[in-house]
């Protein structure tokens, strides 16, 4: 297991390096630049600006400088948020996005797996159809519908939670965003768990477990559930990375100052450093989540540990 | 078959049927069997003859949509329709089963030792510590080499033969009175087959355990079984002592099965005699004798009237025109 873990971990750094390098050059392929606005700047001012940010240098020099900065945790200045460095922007927004993201994933697992298992065990009954119907809704309804709906019901009609906004140390502001973010993940996990558990329950080793005279609970929890969670884990790796780096929709609907908007805004504005910063963060978190998923995989199925 | 014998398992008029959207499927039809302590009964038939279905029904392991009728008594206690909790107490303890495919019949994520120990923890209230110690002995009895190391290995680290031995160790953990072995050697190499069979034979003798050996291999039956039941299309067509059946089969199907076995003493260029045609589909029951479309001599009576099992020459045969060595036995 240790060797398997080390193998997986050693792959992370080179992968991250490739992601950063590729993104750095691909962004520059897009036409336009951070200082192209509707009102064209006088050429000499634009040249000054570009010189100030080092954009007049050859691309390779810029790349070298960016990579050196990364080594000491400096993501460079933002081109659009004039008084902020990218490091500051991310440091402010990421804790919020991480908090609601991790809470949403945790909630999704705690709700989705039992729901899926229940649907599998009560296959073709009302509870199965109910849960799967809910799952289809959860997947099909986008966050910009669910979010305002929740705000309307719980914020305005019932008045139990704030409609939107954020104050640090006030967790009630996070409840609706977390639930909105978790809903499609719950739905996916429930569907995956149901399908995979149904397959495992038909497998020969579950028949053996029943032939041993074990109670249905023991058959389910000790013999069937662990192998059945493999597809859930492989889905959760990338899904977690996606959720914790912040959702543009959910953060906009609930007015949360997270990092969700930075990637899209940065790309539209050609805010090279901000986009790069988000890519580095997103890439690192994705790799971390996949690493955790890989290790969980090895725990769930010992056959994976041997190649 | 004397009346003094004590039956471990009695199956009476067992039927298994499935209602499917495409119509009813009769997997097992009206099977009756008796198995005495220390005795091995070979249950023989082609794929789909209902061998496994019958014994999975006895174990209570059929799919929920199976409709089971009849009786199955383990030492006098009714198994079919019994309280699930009571049935679980018997299953894995007094009544055990091993399966055809050892490669997929063990849980991939649990070490072998714990899969054996679990039975003892559940049925004998042992602590895990005691149970693991016992598991080591069981592995040794199942002739697993290097048993101590195997305890902490996962199934995928073991060969097919080793895995089947682990399955046997699991089945025998609580000293069952009845073991059902569903094609235990079909998935294994020939040399390993022989080892597993002789192991089963020895364990059976040592423990006075009854064994139901489900197989399509008459050679396996010849080596191990005392009694044989031949199944065709969900019914018993012939049953009796192994000696009688293999020497003087009364039913044309049994005779055809024996002829279709490759023989080591036959000339190399002699073609194998296969039974022509296909077994009937359980979805479309055949009128009359289910074997008549494939039977060499099937007079018109066989196409309309299904023969009941009757006693002939110390065996039970379901045939209107049983083969016989003494010409007088042909009665019409």
Query: pLDDT for A23-43, tens place per residue?
Result: 999 988 888 788 877 677 788
For residue B284, what pLDDT is reported?
80
Max CA distance (Å), chain B: 67
For residue B5, what pLDDT is reported?
63
Q: At the fourth CATH level, which superfamily is domain A86-139+182-305? A: MetI-like (1.10.3720.10)
Q: Is residue B103 part of a domain?
A: no
Q: How many CB pairs under 8 A join A and B?
A: 70
Domain total in chain B: 2
Task: Show the domain range for B156.
Answer: 108-164
Whether the complex's predicted ipTM is more than 0.90 is answered with no
Is the model's pLDDT at A306 over the cut of 70?
Answer: no
**CA of A301 vs chain B CAs: smallest distance (Å):** 5
The residue among B90, B108, B112, B180 with the most chain A CBs within 10 A of its CB, best to mutate, is: B108
What secondary structure letter does DSSP report for B91? B
Q: Is residue B169 part of a domain?
A: no
Closest Cβ–Cβ partner in A205, A209, A214 for B108: A205
Number of residues that make up chain A: 307
Report how far apart, in Å, the C-alpha atoms of B233 and of each of A291, B22, B26, B79 are: 54, 19, 9, 24
Q: Which residue of A has its CA nearest to B152?
A: A302
Contact residues, chain A, for B128 at CB < 8 Å: none
Contact residues, chain A, for B109 at CB < 8 Å: 226-227, 300-302
Say whether both B78 and B179 belong to one domain. Answer: yes
Q: Is residue B102 part of a domain?
A: no
Query: In terms of Cα–Cα distance, which of B180, B140, B135, B187 is closest to B161?
Result: B187
CB contact under 8 A, B89 and A204: no
Residues 6+ apart with CB under 8 A from A243: A101, A104, A105, A181, A185
Contact residues, chain A, for B61 at CB < 8 Å: 207, 210-211
For residue A297, what pLDDT is reported?
87
CB contact under 8 A, B109 and A302: yes
Find the Cα–Cα–Cα–Cα dihedral B167, B168, B169, B174, rounded to 10°.
110
What are φ and ψ of residue B71, in 5° steps?
-130, 150
The residue among B90, B100, B105 with the most chain A CBs within 10 A of its CB, best to mutate, is: B105
Say whether both B24 and B53 belong to one domain. Answer: yes
CB contact under 8 A, B90 and A213: yes
Say whether both B82 and B178 belong to one domain. Answer: yes
Average pLDDT, chain A: 90
- Ranges of chain B with pLDDT below 50: 1-4, 326-332
Say whether both B90 and B219 belong to one domain. Answer: yes
Say whether both B64 and B189 belong to one domain. Answer: yes
| Alpha carbons A202 and A185: distance in angstroms, whole number | 26
- The domain boundary, picked from B164, B183, B212, lies at B164
Closest Cβ–Cβ partner in A207, A215, A227 for B109: A227
For residue B304, what pLDDT is reported?
84
CB contact under 8 A, A211 and B89: no
The terminus-to-terminus CA distance of chain A in angstroms comes to: 12
Contact residues, chain B, for A203 at CB < 8 Å: 104
Closest Cβ–Cβ partner in A203, A211, A222 for B91: A211
Say whether both B148 and B192 belong to one domain. Answer: no
Closest Cβ–Cβ partner in A213, A227, A303 for B91: A213
The residue among A128, A212, A304 with the most chain B CBs within 10 A of its CB, best to mutate, is: A212
- Per-residue confidence band for A127, with pLDDT thresholds at 50, 70 and 90: very high
Closest Cβ–Cβ partner in A207, A227, A306 for B108: A227
Say whether both B127 and B259 belong to one domain. Answer: no
* Averaged pLDDT for residues A87-114: 93
For residue B17, what pLDDT is reported?
93
Say whether both B192 and B46 belong to one domain. Answer: yes
Residue matched to tokens 């010992």: A302
Q: CATH no. for residue B303? A: 3.40.50.300
For residue B126, what pLDDT is reported?
95
Encoded tokens for B15: 């039927």
CB contact under 8 A, A218 and B122: yes
Query: Mutual orientation of helices A86-121 and A272-300 as an angle, nearest 10°?
Result: 30
Model confidence pLDDT, tens digit, residues A149-205: 999 999 889 988 888 888 877 888 999 999 999 999 999 999 999 999 999 999 999
Residues 6+ apart with CB under 8 A from B194: none
**Alpha helices (H) in chain B, listed in sequence order:** 51-59, 84-90, 112-124, 128-141, 147-150, 160-172, 190-207, 218-224, 242-247, 252-259, 300-304
Interfacial B residues in 146-175 facing A (CB < 8 Å)? 154, 156, 167, 170
Closest Cβ–Cβ partner in A203, A207, A226 for B61: A207
**CA of B92 vs chain A CAs: smallest distance (Å):** 4
Query: In terms of Cα–Cα distance, which of A124, B122, B292, B312 is closest to B134?
Result: B122
Residue matched to tokens 């019914």: B235
Q: Which residue of B has its CA nearest to A204?
A: B105
| Beta carbons of B178 and B7 less than 8 angstroms apart | no
| Alpha carbons B73 and B85: distance in angstroms, whole number | 16
Closest Cβ–Cβ partner in B93, B109, B154 for A226: B109
CB contact under 8 A, A214 and B122: yes
For residue B1, what pLDDT is reported?
44
Q: Is B21 on the interface with A (CB under 8 A)?
A: no
Query: In this structure, are strands B40-44 and B66-74 parallel, antiparallel, or unpaired?
Result: unpaired
| Alpha carbons B286 and B304: distance in angstroms, whole number | 9
**CA of B108 vs chain A CAs: smallest distance (Å):** 7
Question: In chain A, what are the domain boundaries?
Answer: 86-139+182-305
| Alpha carbons A16 and A291: distance in angstroms, whole number | 13
Query: Mutual orientation of helices A230-244 and A172-201 as an angle, nearest 10°?
Result: 160
Cross-strand partners of B210: B178
Say whether both B195 and B317 belong to one domain. Answer: yes
| Alpha carbons B186 and B44: distance in angstroms, whole number | 13
* Averaged pLDDT for residues A121-146: 93
- The domain boundary, picked from B164, B187, B207, lies at B164
Selection from A6-20, A236-250, B228-242, B276-290 with the highest mean pLDDT = B228-242
Q: Is B118 on the interface with A (CB under 8 A)?
A: yes
Residue environment code for B182-219, b if the CB has 16+ CB neighbours within 10 A, otherwise e: bbbbbbbeeebbebbbebbeebbeebebbbbbbbbbbe
For residue A307, what pLDDT is reported?
52
Query: In terms of Cα–Cα distance, which of B30, B102, B56, B79 is closest to B214?
Result: B56
Q: Specify the DSSP element, H or E, that contains A192.
A: helix A172-201
């Amino acid at each position: 297991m240790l060797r398997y873990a080390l193998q997986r971990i050693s792959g992370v750094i080179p992968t991250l390096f490739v992601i950063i390098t590729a993104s750095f050059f691909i962004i520059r392929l897009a036409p336009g630049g951070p200082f192209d606005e509707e009102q064209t700047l006088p050429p000499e001012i634009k040249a000054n600006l570009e010189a100030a940010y080092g954009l007049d240098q050859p691309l390779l020099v810029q790349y070298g400088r960016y990579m050196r900065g990364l080594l000491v945790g400096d993501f460079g200045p933002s081109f659009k948020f004039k008084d902020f460095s990218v490091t500051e922007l991310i440091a402010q927004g990421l804790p919020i996005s991480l908090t609601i993201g991790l809470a949403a994933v945790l909630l999704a697992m705690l709700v989705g797996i039992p729901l899926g298992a229940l649907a599998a065990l009560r296959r073709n009954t009302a509870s199965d159809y109910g849960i799967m119907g809910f799952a289809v809704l959860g997947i099909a309804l986008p966050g910009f519908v669910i979010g305002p709906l929740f705000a309307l019901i719980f914020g305005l009609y019932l008045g139990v939670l704030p409609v939107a906004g954020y104050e640090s140390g006030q967790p009630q502001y996070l409840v609706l965003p977390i639930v909105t973010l978790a809903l499609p993940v719950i739905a996916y996990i429930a569907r995956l768990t149901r399908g995979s558990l149904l397959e495992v329950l038909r497998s020969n080793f579950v028949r053996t477990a029943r032939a041993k005279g074990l109670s249905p609970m023991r058959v389910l929890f000790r013999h069937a559930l662990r192998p059945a969670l493999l597809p859930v884990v492989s889905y959760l790796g990338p899904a977690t990375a996606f959720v914790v780096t912040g959702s543009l929709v959910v953060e906009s609907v609930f007015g949360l100052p997270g990092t969700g908007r930075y990637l899209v805004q940065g790309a539209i504005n050609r805010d090279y450093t901000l986009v790069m910063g988000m890519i580095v963060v997103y890439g690192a978190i994705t790799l971390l989540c996949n690493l955790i998923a890989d290790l969980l995989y090895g725990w769930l199925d010992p056959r994976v540990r041997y190649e | 078959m004397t009346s003094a014998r004590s039956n471990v398992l009695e199956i009476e008029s067992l039927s298994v049927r499935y209602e499917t959207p495409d119509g009813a499927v009769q997997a097992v039809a009206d099977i009756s069997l008796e198995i005495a302590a220390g005795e091995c009964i070979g249950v023989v038939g082609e794929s789909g003859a209902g061998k496994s279905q019958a014994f999975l029904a006895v174990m209570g392991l059929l799919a929920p949509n199976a409709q089971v009728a009849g009786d199955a008594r383990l030492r006098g206690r009714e198994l079919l329709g019994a309280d699930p909790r009571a049935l679980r107490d018997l299953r894995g303890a007094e009544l055990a089963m091993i399966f055809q495919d050892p490669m997929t019949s063990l849980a991939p994520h649990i070490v072998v030792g714990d899969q054996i120990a679990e039975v003892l923890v559940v049925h004998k209230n042992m602590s895990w510590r005691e149970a693991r110690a016992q598991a080591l002995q069981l592995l040794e009895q199942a002739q697993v080499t290097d048993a101590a190391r195997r305890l902490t290995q996962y199934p995928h680290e073991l060969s097919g033969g080793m895995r089947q031995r682990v399955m046997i160790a699991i089945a025998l953990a609580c000293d069952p009175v009845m073991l059902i072995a569903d094609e235990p050697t079909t998935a294994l190499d020939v040399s390993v087959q022989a080892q597993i069979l002789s192991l089963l034979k020895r364990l059976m003798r040592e423990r006075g355990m009854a064994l139901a050996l489900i197989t399509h291999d008459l050679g396996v039956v010849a080596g191990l079984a005392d009694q044989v039941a031949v199944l065709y299309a969900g019914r018993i067509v012939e049953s009796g002592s192994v000696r009688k059946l293999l020497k003087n089969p009364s039913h044309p199907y049994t005779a055809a099965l024996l002829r279709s076995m490759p023989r080591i003493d036959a000339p190399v260029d002699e073609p194998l005699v296969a039974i022509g045609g296909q077994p009937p589909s359980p979805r479309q029951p055949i009128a009359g004798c289910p074997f008549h479309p494939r039977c060499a001599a099937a007079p018109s009576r066989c196409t309309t009237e299904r023969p009941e099992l009757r006693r002939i020459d110390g065996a039970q045969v379901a045939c209107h025109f049983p083969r016989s060595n003494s010409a007088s036995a042909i009665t019409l």
